[in-house]
Structure 1
């Protein structure tokens, strides 16, 4: 209800404010006095008020807006597992623990009053809301000193309000790893399949409670081919077989697995639950090729300036070679990401592409077709191809760190089908790699310890290699520029200046360590450069922060997002992850939540006492395979007119190697005759090399000539379950 109406005519500088905004001081230009009420409704028009206007009028402009006079920065972290209300004062100095709350739900006629239990958690320093049905819509918090509101529709925080990191949808809880005995079939063949059914929760993957399900097979047009009921065994797996119709359509097919679950709303009727899976196969009319293509390179690894020697032939399965046959030949490149193995916590190269590919499976390969050519096998059935690699690295476009894929294909004269094979060489920048490991946060008085290693292509240390280390100071420069709309925007750039350099040599393990002292506090970059025998240089760099006496001023940007930077990108269970928050204020409060999927694992509130507050989080088993750290901060530095509110988000990979098994299959003999019995020895070991008893698996025996027509995808359920990046 409006208790007082104050009309006022205001002269506008800009009539068409959709192009350039007008600025009006409510207290000075309209009321002529200081506000004493928490709510002020302002309605303005450049013409006669239009009751049905939405702010855009043909003859003018008008708007209606409610302003709230508040001194609380209410933030709601709304997760299914918990609802946290962070309620600091605007200046970030206080966390009032005696607030009274008026709460409302969204009804058909607007907001309706409804009480929700809200309790102060003295240990955590925030309020906890009980709202299992997720009905809360509007909160008014007040006391003798404080007042604030929160409207979930407008003030709620979405994950997309952060610098969002994508991955596997958190709503997906059920997974089934589906595979068939081979990737390619003919109409009339029998398909053997197996499924590994698991459910993901905060404790990791568990066997599903589902006892029965339905498996369906669809073509690429979503036409049903067949369906069948399956029973889930005690290991939460299922298997079976079906015969492909002889008159079926050819093409690509995929599996769909589903089960019926109780409707949580009614508690009675069942609803179908479709389970995420990756199972697929092809059905084609084909003849098995009579020969296979063999193609090899003279060596696996080369560096800039080398020459590739490729040898190829076509060999009949019954013996002998195909001679004087025409072939097509192509070269395709992809980006290569060096796997440092035991040194995976070191930085190799620049940026995060190396880590994202090796440990997230997010590889920006950048396929690029380099050349195609034709040729003919000689009278011995062989082809020899030479390829010259670039001689130097282009500074603007790195030619090293590429996988060169050499493909050769020959048409089978008996089946008219193309038979092909591919081999590859890795083009390295030079003959070794240098990696560095530097803590992101460092005290200036302690200096900067730079650990490094020089590795060969197999990630083994190389002794007595010279490495050049450089320390660069990075200064962020920021100015405000007025845009064409009249609004001032932040523009920032970084200036770099080399402060010092040193030469180091690797020890007998390939490792080195060096201590730098810095002239200033703030942001720095360490660069490690190794130059090989081909006179090409591989560079790795790492950004770090030096905490000195001066306050660091970060790039503020034009939004409410800042950065949370981890000292290391991957951790093990039992270790402690450390993060540095780039805070635009040196005094305030922050709420930190550790989250996975759609729930909060842990949370706490901390004081902000510097522009680089440190956050340390012990890694728990429940954090596997990755977790997120969210930060909500607010504060106001002395002399500042307004408080600053920021959010930050970081993701941390937790290594899952302890969950990895190795499987080896050894036949009793290397050659058998038709009708012979084949005896195989299957050995399963855990990550420590210890035998694993009771392992559940499957074995497929497939004609090699069939796999020449369709590449056989490697079965890797570990990557399916554990190498995915789950998001919030």
Structure 2
């Protein structure tokens, strides 16, 4: 444990460490080792990083069938560390077929052209000129996911440890691709007092990366250079803060890093811009009396407003404008119509409230109520949209010609967490709006099964189990239909559905979704219940976080099995380990100036393991060749159910970068007190489980 102290004076300013997460199509970042940030922090809505040399893998490219034999999808930009497995994850659904995958070497200029957007944030050049790229290799990639269930497919790529590439997936006449930036240097961007502060870190050493240059750009309409600065010996660079700064580009030799600043999404018209000059912000809390109304109904609303001057809150004075709009399709264009616009006086408590009546012929759809306080510079952020920081200044509500339901359906289960092969009983209750039972009514039901993500790590498993219910009990899981039929409600308005669950042939846990609906022309009623079906009487977990191995040296993977919903005896369980290596050779002929590459796959000898009295077992092997290794561990429970987990490691030799912190990547910050007054001195202690690194 490495510990050091930091003393500073508390002010009313708030200094935030930004966690960056992107959705496709987007500039896609990952955790600790991504080239957009170097500290092992946990971005909002992402799981903690589990390896000093790995990243929390999300879908890098999304492709789905359009139901007509074609495909749609999204790509973007994938930031990748030189330390991690050179692969991307392809997320697909409703798609079965074979893609032609082309991998090109690209340049900074081509990447920058890809990022140029118009005033609404839509790309001007969404497809690169393939003729200007250098083809590295082409190969086939099969996808077999014909239904709506979710599937993340790992695709290994023949790319070097540093550089820029473009990966293109071809299916018929449709092309979907993404740029990949791989670097050994990560850069963290933070906002100072009207400054952008950048810190560069070498992923191999964990130390600050001196030298190199950072350049900020505006990419609206065209690429415009805004500022540049060199990095100090401490790996720090500072530039002027500008709301027009969309991205920053780090360059030091062949290390290139792309840092998303105010450009976080592509082609979504999403316009939150976190890096702005320090100006007066207005924060809003807006609410209406109901979420849905009928045409001709009265909408009551209220808003609480506060001015925020760097965390100094005050009550605004004067008036605020309220505007209500509805947007709808008209032919091939999108129209926005103003329903109401009016100024309201702000009370001494900093609130406004009012009401308005919807026209009897009001259009149905989603309406937007926007509140605007004229606080100057925050009215326009360069893209023509109102900026409200973390507090939005608008609220949506629906207008529909709805009818109150004549009756309700409720589905409940006698168990919501069971083992494969168990039987679950679904109780369906029908009730009239008056409270009387719905007798003799026919109800149709359908049962769907979809894969459920199972946690891989022993440490943290208890927390995973604690929050498990929120991960599977709610929401629509799609999946394959396994059964459908109808039942009739008895004289109590009740029907029972018995479902026999089946073991998954791949040893994966499943979510069974049971949907019930009224069968007939009545006012529709619907209910859904999700049940988690565990793959077997035990689960297989890994006891370390190491996702890197060194080629030619012995690699060990400590495993443990734990009972699941049973008294399963963990001692003496036989496990089978199947290991497959996937790698690419990458060559360039300087005489012919031709790139060549080939994919290699190798199946290593199968290993048998037996758990000890604590349920532990250790897999050991020597990776002889650089590449990605898929390690599938499987076993059977007393019912004959297959339980399986696949773990991934990446092996490299001394010619490549190698890092292994065993998952000890987090920083811990503790304060000497829980609460401070302005001008108090606060002492912070920063602890790291990894020694010999900079923070």
TM range, smaller chain: 0.3 to 0.5
TM-score, reference length from structure 2: 0.47
Task: Specify which structure has the bigger relative contact order, considering alpha-carbon pairs within 8 angstroms and separated by 6 or more residues.
Answer: 2
TM-score, reference length from structure 1: 0.45
